[in-house]
Each structure stands twice: as C-alpha cells, then as structure tokens.
Amino acid sequence: MERAQSLFAFAGLRWNDATARFIERSTSGGDNPRYYSIFRDPIIAATKWRSELSAIEIAKYMAIADRVLPGKFSV
C-alpha cells in the first residue's frame, strides 16, 4: 500500500479511501482463474508457473532466459 501511495504522489494523483479499498480488494483475491481478472493475489499470480511447469521445462526456460541480461536477474 505504501508503494502505491508513493506512486500516486509521484504521478500527482490524489489518494483517498476508495483507492485504498480498491487496491486492497484487487490484490487479495486469491488465485482467480480468469486470465484478465484484476482481482487476484499478485504473489500467487507471479509464481503460479512454478507449480504448472515440470522441472525439465523450468530448466529449459531458465537456460534460455539466462542468455540475456534481464534473465540473469530472475529467481
């Protein structure tokens, strides 16, 4: 929430209770199966691939990503 508030301040946008409630609701929705849903837990959404891909697939993709600079920063 603090990061969102600082981004709003940086962009010159007003922060209010409705904004805080929306951010709270939209980031605590669990694992919403709809791809374009805005109501999902960002941690679950960002790491879901780890449980959906096999170890062989993960190793293959990580080897490809490691060939470029941004890939070297991945976890």
CA distance 27 to 57: 28
Neighbour count for residue 40 (Cβ, 10 Å): 20
Which is more confident, 74 or 10?
10
Domain chopping of the chain, boundaries? 1-40, 41-75
Model pLDDT, residue 57: 94
In angstroms, the first-to-last Cα distance of the chain is 24
Q: With cut-offs at 50, 70 and 90, classify the pLDDT of residue 55.
A: very high
Kindly report the length of the chain: 75
Higher pLDDT, 36 or 8: 8
Residue 31 has pLDDT above 70, yes or no: no
Q: Is the pLDDT of residue 50 over 80?
A: yes
Helices (H) and strands (E) counted in the chain, each on its own, are: 5, 0
pLDDT at 36 over 70: no
- CA 46 – CA 56 distance, rounded (Å): 19
